[in-house]
Amino acid sequence: MEITAAILRQSGHQARPYATSEPLALDKVQLAPPRPGELLVRIDAAGLCHSDLSVINGDRPRPMPMALGHEAAATVLATGDAADPSFAVGDRVVLVFLPACGECIECRSGRGYLCPSAAAANGAGELMQGECRLSAQGTPVHHHLGVSAFATHAVIDRRSAVKIDADIPPEIAALFGCAVLTGVGAVMNTAALRPGESVLIYGLGGVGLAAAMGALAAGGTSVMAVDPSPEKRALALELGVTYAVAPDAATTLPAADVVIETVGKASVLAAAYAMAKRGGRVITVGLPNPNEQLTIPALSLVAEGKTLIGSYMGSSIPHRDIPRYIALWRAGRLPVERLLTSVSPLADINRLMDRLADGDAIRQIVLPG
């Protein structure tokens, strides 16, 4: 079938502003039907994330051309199996960017977020069963993280979908696929925050603010944040954060039991590490440029008992965690709707990428339909 998708043909070569250079082109492309174990979905809403921006600016090298977008809510239109017991036409789903195979040692030990098969497929820009389902004039168009959500439709591996209730607005549901899964998961899964512990968060984008919500929901007492944006700091305070300061005032804050870095810069991670208490846990979820190197005092790992932990996808098991986080949202304990900056048509995608790059937005949603 023919669909419309936002296609990136070159990475790291487009000058700002993107509204002028237009790195993403809305093109008509061919979408092959789903194979057994796959789903055809209509994209109802998709969120803009720094992981999309990092492919555009070259920080995350990926095969080109590529249809971008990885955080989305969708509706199932067809299944590749004659009778799929898990999904039916009309099901509402949240799409997730790492479809764990379920068979490897990592998946079987409850660490599907480290699934090597899924990581290899994502790195190659393919689906889990290999190859691309997208093409333009006979040339393959690669999938972004198995989703390619900046499009009217997508074919995905069934393991990239989590079924949800039909009453959740698509623009809210989409946020659970990346921002909430990553930020809340970093607190509840990776850090395993204990009630009464203090938390310091570097960066108040969608993931950072979701982490703040997760810390408050999990019983963190002193929840603090660092971000250069006065507007984002004000929102964090409205959500219940105790202190929110600019980066140049970060050292005036007390050291924390748990420090979460969401910016994706080695220099910020080093600063975050320095703000952990003796015995503190430093969780990093940001994705820096592959050429960046981290320097920390090696002695502190032993002498101060600090722990530095990487957190991919919030160390989450999506089929377990997304329903839990939605339940917390319904209970009013995760006000995810506060992450929404705007809802726009897909045609505005390049202008919205400028806002994301400028740090002016938290989570912008596009409606491809």
Same fold, 2-178+316-367 and 192-310: no
Q: How far is CA 239 from CA 8, 171, 215, 255, 285, in A?
A: 36, 20, 11, 21, 21
DSSP letters for 70-93: -EEEEEEEEESSSS-SS--TT-EE
pLDDT on residue 69:
98
Q: Which two tokens stand for residue 40?
A: 């055809």
In sequence order, which residues have a C-beta less than 8 Å from that of residue 250 and are 6 or more positions away?
202, 226, 271, 275
CA distance 51 to 69: 9
Domain 192-310 class in CATH:
alpha beta
Q: What is the mean pLDDT of each run of 10 residues along the chain (369 residues)?
A: 97 92 97 96 97 94 97 97 85 96 95 96 97 96 98 97 98 98 98 98 98 97 97 98 98 97 97 98 94 94 96 96 98 97 98 95 95
Query: How is the chain split into domains, by residue range?
Result: 2-178+316-367, 192-310
pLDDT on residue 364:
98
pLDDT on residue 85:
83
pLDDT on residue 333:
97
Fill in the amino acid letter for 44. D
Architecture of the domain whose range is 2-178+316-367:
Alpha-Beta Complex (3.90)
pLDDT on residue 82:
73
CA distance 252 to 215: 21
Q: How many CB atoms lie within 10 A of CB 230?
A: 10
C-alpha Rg value of the chain to the nearest Å: 20
| Bridge partners of residue 7, in order along the sequence | 25, 67
> Cα torsion at 208, 45, 128, 86 (round to 10°)?
110
pLDDT on residue 324:
98
CA distance 215 to 221: 8
Give the predicted TM-score (pTM) of the model: 0.96
**In the chain, at which residue ranges do the beta strands (DSSP E only) sit?**
2-8, 24-31, 38-47, 66-67, 71-79, 92-95, 134-136, 139-143, 153-157, 161-164, 199-202, 223-226, 243-245, 256-261, 276-284, 307-310, 340-345, 363-367
pLDDT on residue 334:
98
Distance from the first to the final alpha carbon of the chain? 15
Contact 234, 253 (CB under 8 A): no
pLDDT on residue 273:
98
